[in-house]
Amino acid sequence: MKTIYTIIICFLFVTANNAQEKFLTKNGSISFFSSAVVKDFKADNNQVLSIIDTDSGKMAISILMKSFMFEKALMQEHFNENYVESDKFPKATFRGAIVDFESITDLETKVEVEGIITIHGVSKEIVISANMTRSEESIVLRGEFNVLLADYNIEIPRVVSKSIAKTIKVTFDFNHKPYNK
């Protein structure tokens, strides 16, 4: 009987311990900004899914392209239909890790996140600098990086080539909370 109780207690301990291994957000924020000669464009997406495994520092991000909101509906329509082709490529993703995650002891620190980002069906290796704030209640990652549209086969028609920059500034803010199954 002691063996059964010991096994049950160990199982409960492992289950409770595993619940704290992953931190998740379903409402992470990603914005992009395009500054061009004729116009500036900005879009926000506050429905970004991101998860961090605290045992390994691995993380994954999933972004629904149709969730980007623009100032004008016509801009949003052109973005989804003509540029990122959201029906054909509905998501952008990132799979990677926070470098040396297990050795980070500071509550606030600058980190490197490296992995593979996939946009418009094209995958590229990327290294991003971010600010991380870590506690038992949350892991917050904030930062920015640039995306060269040509790297992801996103074509800009000549007619609007002066209206849209070839490089887009992407800003992100993820507030991960412990994931409880």
Domains of the chain (ranges plus CATH)? 22-178 (2.40.128.110)
pLDDT for 180: 80
**Would you say residue 2 has pLDDT above 90?**
no
| Structure-model confidence comparison of residues 82 and 56, the more confident one | 56
Indicate the pLDDT class of residue 5, thresholds 50, 70 and 90.
very low
Residue 142 half-sphere exposure toward CB, CA atoms < 13 A: 9
Rounded to an integer, the average pLDDT of 67-94 is 92
Distance CA 171, CA 22 (A): 23
Distance CA 3, CA 35 (A): 67
Are residues 57 and 99 in contact, defined by beta-carbon separation less than 8 angstroms? yes
Contacts 24+ apart (CB under 8 A), 99-108: 99/57, 100/57, 101/54, 101/56, 101/57, 102/56, 102/57, 104/132, 104/134, 106/134, 107/133, 107/134, 107/135, 108/132, 108/133, 108/134
pLDDT digits (tens, 9 = 90+) for 29-67: 999 998 876 677 899 999 999 999 999 999 999 999 999
Rounded to an integer, the average pLDDT of 79-85 is 89
What is the model's pTM? 0.83
Q: Which of 152, 174, 158, 132 is nearest to 46 (CA)?
A: 174
Of 77-86, 97-106, 136-145, 160-169, the one with minimum mean pLDDT is 160-169
pLDDT digits (tens, 9 = 90+) for 112-166: 999 999 999 999 999 999 999 998 899 999 999 999 999 999 887 777 767 778 8
